Amino acid sequence: MTTREHREPGPDHPITITPTGGEVVVRVGDVVVARTSSALTLRESTYPPVQYVPLADVDERFLRPTGTRTWCPYKGEASYWTLTAGGRELPDSVWGYPGASPAVAPIAGHVAFYPDRVDVSVG
């Protein structure tokens, strides 16, 4: 049995989660796949900020769950979805932490999108 290491954010690896403010729109080409004014911005260490959109604000017609799972010691186990829109299939381009670790509990029920596969605009 493999043991997964859990870590707490701290000075050496800070994580903050704040309301984004404004509207976040996610597009694949000209197709809007998500629109929300309830996004959260997660800032983690030296990584670029990530927009987490409530899953309820993503058009479910474009999502298909996959069996892919990854582990982050700070956030927990991530689940993935394939995004199909605008005539494109983008495998594992959406991820979320349904059982997010307590330190990042606000992102449970939210998903993020790989910015090199979709257009995420904040306005």
State which fold the 15-116 domain adopts.
2.170.150
Mean of pLDDT over the chain: 96
- Classify residue 10 by burial, with Cβ atoms within 10 Å: 0-12, 13-18, 19+: exposed
- Average pLDDT on 9-38 reads 97
> Could you count the other beta carbons within 10 Å of the beta carbon of residue 86?
16
Average of per-residue pLDDT across 97-101? 96
* Predicted confidence band of residue 1 (pLDDT cuts 50, 70, 90): low
Residue 3: is its pLDDT beyond 80?
no
pLDDT given for residue 44 in this prediction: 97
Domain boundaries, the chain: 15-116
The CA-CA-CA angle for residues 65, 117, 95, to 5°, reads: 35
pLDDT tens column, 42-88 = 999 999 999 999 999 999 999 999 999 999 999 999 999 999 999 99
* Model pLDDT, residue 4: 87
pTM here is 0.94
